[in-house]
């Protein structure tokens, strides 16, 4: 079982949540913008922020960390062994790298949902032509992401629990392990007897709890690990 965060996309040029926001977004705290309250208060600004991130993601390519995880997933599948990749990222770079059945714990910024009729559509064109986006029913459309204070998708939670039940080895990669419920997964896996490993550039609240804590870049450590273990 692997859980990833913004650190896995950092080497693809996508700012993490810790990196201070640039330019006109510098004065905002991401945690304030990523809330239903902020969207209700100012749907134009929140939509412009997500469109700014979409433009960054649209120009980004999967990096060696994404590719190593895609290879692992394929290898385990060929061996009929369980491999579950869960991500907090909304950029779909894991899928672009070839990973299949990625569990998007916090949704994606490529699908937008009407706040009135609930209809969802994929929106890949960047930039948007209007802020906020309007649905045919006239409702404002929002990104199909999980905002702070909102519940995670049922199927994502179910997939997480199933994987936590059965995993022998748990990886936490490129995440500061602060945002719940994902931040508690390593602890739960450990309590269930799984071996746990962390790959992260900085120490996190779970570093001391993990059996192995590898400090450094995911784009260097992961390919090295796969090479060492599988000799590819």
* Residues near ligand BV8 (CB under 6 A): 5-7, 10-11, 16-18, 34, 88, 90, 106, 145-151, 174-176, 178-182, 200-202, 204, 217-219
Task: In angstroms, give the least distance from the CB of 149 to Zn ion.
Answer: 22
* H-helix or E-strand spanning residue 173: strand 169-173
- Is 122:110 a contact under the CB 8 Å cutoff? yes
Site string for Zn ion, 118-137 (x = CB under 5 A): -----------------x-x
Task: Give the pair of three-digit tokens for residue 229.
Answer: 């273990």
215 by DSSP, 3-state: which?
A: strand
CA angle 94, 95, 96 (to 5 degrees): 90
Residue closer to ligand BV8, measured from CB, 84 or 88: 88
Whether 106 is catalytic is: yes
Residues that bind Zn ion (rule: CB under 5 A) add up to a total of 6
Task: In angstroms, give the least distance from the CB of 93 to Zn ion.
Answer: 29
CA angle 61, 143, 128 (to 5 degrees): 70
Name the active-site residue from 106, 121, 161, 187: 106
Task: In angstroms, give the least distance from the CB of 121 to Zn ion.
Answer: 10
- Is 204:46 a contact under the CB 8 Å cutoff? no
Catalytically active residues are 106
């Amino acid at each position: 079982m692997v859980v990833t965060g913004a650190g896995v996309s950092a080497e693809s040029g996508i700012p993490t949540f810790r990196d201070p926001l640039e330019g006109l977004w510098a004065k905002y705290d991401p945690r304030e913008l990523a809330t239903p309250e902020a969207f209700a208060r100012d749907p134009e600004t929140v939509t412009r922020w997500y469109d700014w991130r979409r433009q960054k993601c649209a120009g980004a390519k999967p990096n060696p960390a994404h590719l190593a995880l895609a290879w692992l997933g394929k290898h385990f599948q060929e061996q009929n062994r369980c491999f579950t990749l869960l991500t907090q990222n909304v950029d779909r770079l894991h899928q672009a790298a070839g990973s299949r059945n990625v569990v998007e714990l916090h949704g994606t910024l490529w699908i937008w949902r009407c706040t009135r009729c609930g209809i969802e559509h994929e929106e890949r064109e960047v930039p948007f032509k209007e802020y906020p986006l309007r649905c045919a029913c006239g409702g404002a459309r929002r990104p199909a992401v999980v905002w702070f204070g909102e519940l995670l998708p049922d199927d994502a939670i179910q997939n997480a629990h199933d994987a936590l039940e059965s995993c022998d080895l748990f990886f936490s990669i490129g995440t500061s392990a602060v945002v719940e419920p994902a931040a508690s997964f390593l602890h739960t896996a450990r309590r269930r007897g799984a071996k746990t490993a962390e790959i992260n550039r900085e120490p996190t609240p779970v570093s001391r709890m993990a059996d192995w804590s590898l400090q450094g870049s995911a784009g260097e450590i992961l390919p090295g690990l796969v090479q060492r273990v599988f000799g590819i």
